[in-house]
Structure 1
C-alpha cells in the first residue's frame, strides 16, 4: 500500500471519528449536562427529610449539656402574695380588731455547693450523649447516601433493562414477520408462526413490566434524593477507597463505623448515669439567701422587712428504697449497652464479609456476562443463517434471541450490583460521607450548634432564630 493511500484512509478515519463526536455532543442533553451520581448524592445530602430530621434530633440532644450545667448555677425565685384578712387581738385587757390587706414580696436565691457529684456526672453523661448523637447522625447520613446510590443505580438499571426488552421485542417482531413470510410460501408450519407470536406477546409483557419497574425506581429516586431523575451519567468508581482485603475492611469497619462508635459512647453515658443515680445517696449542701418585704402583716405593724442567709445540709437516710432500685436499674442498662457494642460489631463484621463477597461475585459475573453476550450474539447470528437455509427451526432462533437478552440483562444487573457493593463497603468502613466523597455541597457541622448553646444561661430562641 502506498504512503498516499494510507494517508487518505487515515484521514477518512479521523474525520469519521470527529463526525461521531459531533453527533454525540450535539444531541440535546449531552453527557456534560447529564446528572452525575455525585450531584445526586449532594442533592440527597441537602434535601433528604430523614437526614434533616436526624440533624434536628442531634441539635435537641445538644441541649442536654446546658440542662446539666444548670446544676452549677444559682437559682432565683420571686413570689408575691396578697389577700384580705380579718384579725382580732386581745392584749392587756384590750380587744383590737380590724380588716387588713396583707401583701408580701419575697426574693429567694439558692446556690448549690455540693450535690453528691450529680451535676458533674450529669454533664459528662450529656456530653457522651452528644457525641453518640453525632455518630448516629453519621450513620443516618451513610444510610441515606447509600440509599441514594441504590436508587440512582436502580434507575440506570431499569432504563437499560427497558431498552433491552424493547430491542428484544423489535427483534422478535422481525422474526415473526420473517416466519409469516416463510409460512406464506410453505417453508414453515403454522406451529412456527404460533411460537413466534407467543414470544412476541411475552416480549410485550416484559416491556410493560420493565416500564412499571422504571416508574417505581423513579419514584424511589424522587423520595430519597428529592428531585426527579433526569439524564443520568455513569457513576465514578469508589473501589480505590476500599481496603485491599476483607480482613482490612472488617478491621476498618470495627474501628470507624458510626454505629459501633455510637454504641461505645452509649456505654460511657450509661456509666455516668450509674454515678448520677448513686449521687442520691450523698448529702446535699447549699446556701440560700432570702429578702422579704411585708405590708400590713398585722394590726400592730404596718410593714416589715427582713433578709436572711442560711446554709442548708440535707443528709438522706432512707427514701423508701427508690434510690437503690434506680441504681440497680442504671447498672443493668449499663450492661445492656456493653452488650449492644458487641451486637453492632458482629453486625458490621457480617455486613463487611457479605458486601465483600457481593463485590467479588459481581466482578466475576461481569466477566462471565460479557463472554456470554459475545457468545450469544455470535450464536444468534449463526442460528439465523442456518434457519434461513432450513437447518434450524423457529424455536432455535427464538431461544437464541432469549439467551442473548438474558445475557445482556445479567450484565446490566452485575454492573449495578458492583457499584452498590462498592459503596456499601465504603459505608462499612465509615467513609460514605460528604467530605470523604468530595461532594460539592455545604457540609453540616453539628459542633457549630453545640458551641452556640453549651454555655447559654438564658434565652428561648434557637440559634437559627426559631
Structure 2
C-alpha cells in the first residue's frame, strides 16, 4: 500500500511538472508575440477601411447622390445644336421637253435653348424626393457599417476563443498522454488492471478527437477573419466589452433604438420619399409653361430659287395644359398613394423589429454576464475537485477513471468559460448595434470616418463633367 501511494505521488509530481512546463512555454510564446499582437479596435479599423461589402455600399450611396443633380436639371436650360449638310441631285423638266440637272450642296446650322418656367412644381418635388433618398441611403450605409463592425467583432472573438480552446485541448491531451503512459507502467508493475489502461487510452483518444475538432473550428474562424478583416489573424489580444457605452436600463435601450437605429431612420425617410412622390405624380395634371429661343442659318445653291440663304431667330412661349392622357397620371397618383401607405406600415414593422432587437440584445448581454460568472465559479470548483480526487487517488480511495473524469469536467468547464467570455464581448457589441451606436465615432477607432456628405456636396451643383470626384 505504501509503495502504491509512493507511485501515485510520483504520478502527481510528473503531471505537475508537465503542466508547469506547458505553462512556461505558453507564457514565453505569449511574451514573444505580445509586441505584434493585434487588438480588437485595430481589427475593426481595418474592416472599416477595406471590407468589400462596406465599400460596395459606399459606392451605391455615391450613385444615389447623383439623383439630386439629375433632379436639379429641371431648373436649368436645355441647349441643343443642329447641323445638317449633304448632296442633292436635281433634275428639272422645262417646257419644250428641255431637261436641266444640277448638283446642290445645301446645309443648315441652328441653336435652340429651352427653359421650363412652370411644370406643376414637379422639379421642386423631384429635388425633394432625391434629397430624401440621399438621407435614407446614408442611414442604410450606416446600418451596413454596423453590420460589418459586428461581423468583425464576431470573427475576432471567434478566433480568440478557438485559439484558447486549442491550447486548452493541447494541455488536456498532454495530461492524458502522461496519464496513459504512467498507467501503462503501473500495469506492467502489476499495480493496476488492464481496465485502467483501456480507460486511460480511451480518454486520450477522446482528447485527440476534441483537439482535432478545436483545430478545425480555429481554421474556419481564421478564414472568416481574413474575409471580414482583410488579413489573416496572428496573435490577438484579449477583447474588451463596451459596457461604458451602453444604456443604463432596458427602457433606455428601447428608446435609443427607436430614435437612433439607422434602419428606423431610413424607413422614416422612405415614408417622406413616398409622400413627396405623390406630389410628383400629381404634377402631371397641372399646366406646363416653357419658353424657347432659337437661331438658325441655312444655305441652298439652287439657282432657280430667289434666295440662296435664310437666317432666322425666334422666341416662343408655350403653355400646355393636359386634359386627358388616358388615365395615366391618375393611375400613377393612386399608385404613389398606395406605396406611401405601404412605407408607413414598413416603418411600423421596422420599429417593432428594432424594439425586439433592443430587448433581445439587452437580455443577452445581461445573461452573458451571469454565464461568465457561473463559468468562472465552475472552473474554480472543477480545479478544487480535480486536486481533491488526485489526493484521494494517492491514498487509494479513488481510481484512475475518477481522475480522468475530474480532468474531463475541468476541461469542459474551461471550454464553457472560453465560450462565455466570447459571448460576453459579442453581446455587448450587439447591444451597441441594437441602439444604433456601433460606429467609428462612438468606438473612437483610429481611422478616418467615411463622410458621405463630402461626395454629395461635390456633385450636387455640378453642371457638367464626366469624371467622378476624388478619382472614384
> Which of 397, 400, 412 in structure 2 is aligned with 1:394?
400
> Which of 189, 197, 216 in structure 1 is aligned with 2:220?
216
Residues 1:268 and 2:272 are matched in the alignment = yes
1:338-377 superposed matches below 5 A: 338-377=344-383
Equivalent residue, structure 1, for 2:15: none
1:324 positional shift:
1.8
Aligned residue for 2:360, secondary structure, equals helix
Q: RMSD across aligned C-alpha pairs, in angstroms?
A: 2.1
1:185 positional shift:
2.5
Task: List gaps (5 residues or longer) in structure 2.
Answer: 1-23
Structure-1 separation of matches of 2:169 and 2:240: 26
1:393 positional shift:
2.5
Cα 1:68–1:89, aligned 2, differ >3 Å: closer, same or farther?
A: farther
Equivalent residue, structure 1, for 2:14: none
Cα 1:202–1:297, aligned 2, differ >3 Å: closer, same or farther?
A: farther
| 1:313-335 Cα shifts (integer Å, max 9, x gaps) | 11111112222222222112112
> Which of 53, 58, 75 in structure 2 is aligned with 1:50?
53
Structure-1 separation of matches of 2:220 and 2:141: 28
1:221 positional shift:
0.8
The answer as to whether partners of 2:241 and 2:424 remain within 8 angstroms in 1 is no
Report the more deviating stretch, 255-264 or 169-178. Answer: 169-178
Aligned residue for 2:469, secondary structure, equals coil
Aligned residue for 2:329, secondary structure, equals helix
1:88 positional shift:
4.5
Aligned residue for 2:111, secondary structure, equals strand
Structure-2 separation of matches of 1:276 and 1:95: 62
Cα 1:25–1:202, aligned 2, differ >3 Å: closer, same or farther?
A: closer
Structure-2 separation of matches of 1:244 and 1:365: 20
Equivalent residue, structure 1, for 2:252: 248
Structure-2 separation of matches of 1:315 and 1:446: 41
Structure-2 separation of matches of 1:26 and 1:321: 75
Structure-2 separation of matches of 1:291 and 1:97: 32
| 1:254-274 Cα shifts (integer Å, max 9, x gaps) | 100011101111111111111
Residues 1:202 and 2:243 are matched in the alignment = no
Cα 1:74–1:265, aligned 2, differ >3 Å: closer, same or farther?
A: same
1:297 positional shift:
7.4
Equivalent residue, structure 1, for 2:169: 165
Structure-2 separation of matches of 1:380 and 1:293: 104
The answer as to whether partners of 1:87 and 1:100 remain within 8 angstroms in 2 is no
Instruction: Provide TM-score, normalisation by structure 1.
Output: 0.91
Structure-2 separation of matches of 1:408 and 1:129: 51
1:24 positional shift:
7.1
Structure-2 separation of matches of 1:231 and 1:105: 73
> Which of 381, 390, 413 in structure 2 is aligned with 1:407?
413
| 1:48-102 Cα shifts (integer Å, max 9, x gaps) | 11111111111111110000000000000011122333374989xx998744222
Aligned residue for 1:231, secondary structure, equals coil
Equivalent residue, structure 1, for 2:145: 141
The answer as to whether partners of 2:294 and 2:315 remain within 8 angstroms in 1 is yes
Residues 1:430 and 2:436 are matched in the alignment = yes
Aligned residue for 2:32, secondary structure, equals coil
Cα 1:52–1:109, aligned 2, differ >3 Å: closer, same or farther?
A: same
Structure-2 separation of matches of 1:277 and 1:218: 53
Residues 1:294 and 2:306 are matched in the alignment = no
Instruction: Provide TM-score, normalisation by structure 2.
Output: 0.90
1:21-170 superposed matches below 5 A: 27-30=31-34, 32-85=35-88, 86=90, 88=92, 98-170=102-174
Aligned residues between the structures: 443
Aligned residue for 1:464, secondary structure, equals helix
Aligned residue for 2:222, secondary structure, equals helix
Task: List gaps (5 residues or longer) in structure 1.
Answer: 1-19
Structure-2 separation of matches of 1:306 and 1:26: 87
Structure-2 separation of matches of 1:191 and 1:147: 48
1:174 positional shift:
1.9
Equivalent residue, structure 1, for 2:13: none
Aligned residue for 1:456, secondary structure, equals coil
> Which of 321, 331, 342 in structure 1 is aligned with 2:337?
331
Equivalent residue, structure 2, for 1:318: 324
The answer as to whether partners of 2:91 and 2:99 remain within 8 angstroms in 1 is no
Structure-2 separation of matches of 1:333 and 1:48: 34
1:285 positional shift:
0.5
Residues 1:385 and 2:388 are matched in the alignment = no
| 1:158-196 Cα shifts (integer Å, max 9, x gaps) | 001111111111111122123222222323221221111
